[in-house]
Amino acid sequence: MDMAALLRETALGKIVSRLQSVTPSIRILHDLNTESDVFVQVADWMQCLPFEIEVIWAAKWNLVKILYMLNRYFLIDIFLYYVYLDIADVKTCTASFIGFGITALIGVAFAEMVIFIRLYALSGQSLVYRIWLPLQFLAVQVAAYTLSGIFFKTVTYAPSPLPEYVTCWPISGTVTLVTAFLGILMANETVILLAMVYIGVKKHRRMRTPLITTFYRDGFVFFLALAGSSIVNIVLHLSLPPSINSLFATPQRAIHSILASRMIVHLREQSYQQENGYSFEDRFHPTILGRTSLSSRARKSDVMAALRGGSKSEFMNMRDMQ
């Protein structure tokens, strides 16, 4: 019996054979995962681009516009996730993975800032929320970076047995730290959602304006998307080996980026329609082009009337979010 046949019959040979069979599939999954994330990001960007150029880019610079740009264009983490499997040196591969993790945390923080600012606007710029929200945001960020830092220390990388497909991959890591981090994100969003519901019941229960509806609808959608993606990530980390359990990391990051950007776009769309009397999509319609332009004072009056009794101060608080 030759050595090749003997190796195939040993336990080590079976492991190697198994790795040889699954490694190409793992690489294909990683590539499809990352490329689909990029495709979705680009497709969403192209759909919003005309509105973004004409309305958002032309607006004056403020915190919300900066956060929009960061959520839309800060995609370094997805690039690092794509390339780290191609780095042959284990130390460089590990550094690239840590870089992906840190930049992903930064991207998530940008999306979380949008949520916190939205809640502050809904509260009417309440002093209580002005104090509480930054403290909660900082607490969540400190916990997230602490858990991630500890997790990075537990991850061990090794050269792949099939470098033509994957040059290095993780072989161990404390997944409970990842699940704890995801749990903190879910708890944070749950608190924000409950606070949003409380404000809605207390202050906006009788208001049915498009602006108010957009605020609450997008808040619920963001929470459901984050909760669903976090649950999927937790299940994958607890049930799959280290080489493949992070497959849903970039999709969850993309969900954060797209939804946070969309929240701002939707608010600007409502503002555009209320100020002009027509939607952005209808701006070139013949009946719109033939209208006589309203005076600035008349447009403001129409906006206030659209709020159906909402106070001017509340409206301006929400306009600050835009």
pLDDT tens-digit readout, 221-255: 988 888 888 888 888 888 877 767 777 788 888 88
Percent of the chain with pLDDT over 90: 17
Asked whether the predicted pLDDT for residue 194 surpasses 90, the reply is yes
Q: Are 85 and 28 in contact (CB under 8 A)?
A: no
At 163, the pLDDT band (50, 70, 90 cuts) reads low
Q: Indicate if the pLDDT at residue 203 is higher than 90.
A: no
Confidence of residue 136 (pLDDT cuts 50, 70, 90): very high
Least confident among 53-67, 76-90, 111-125, 179-193: 76-90
Q: Across residues 292-313, what is the average pLDDT?
A: 43
316 pLDDT more than 50: no
Which of 72-76, 134-138, 282-286, 317-321 is the least confident region?
Answer: 317-321
pLDDT (average), residues 59-69: 90
Please tell me whether residue 166 adopts helix, strand or coil conformation: coil
What's the pLDDT at 157?
78
- Residue 66 scores a pLDDT above 50: yes
pLDDT of residue 10: 47
Which range, 11-20, 155-164, 187-196, is most confident? 187-196
Q: How far is Cα 167 from Cα 160, in angstroms, rounded to an integer?
A: 5
pLDDT-based confidence at residue 3 (cuts at 50, 70, 90): very low
**Cα angle value 83/84/86 (rounded, 5°):** 70
Q: Is the pLDDT of residue 39 over 80?
A: yes
pTM score, whole prediction: 0.76
* Per-residue H/E/C for 11-49: HHHHHHHHHHHHHHHHHHHHHHHHHHHHHHHHHHHHHHH
- 25 and 239 Cβ atoms separated by less than 8 Å: no
CA angle 200, 189, 154 (to 5 degrees): 175
Q: State the Cα torsion 221-227-232-233 to the nearest 10°.
A: 120
Residue 305: φ, ψ to 5°: -65, -35
Model confidence at 70: pLDDT above 60: yes
And the tokens for 23?
């490694």
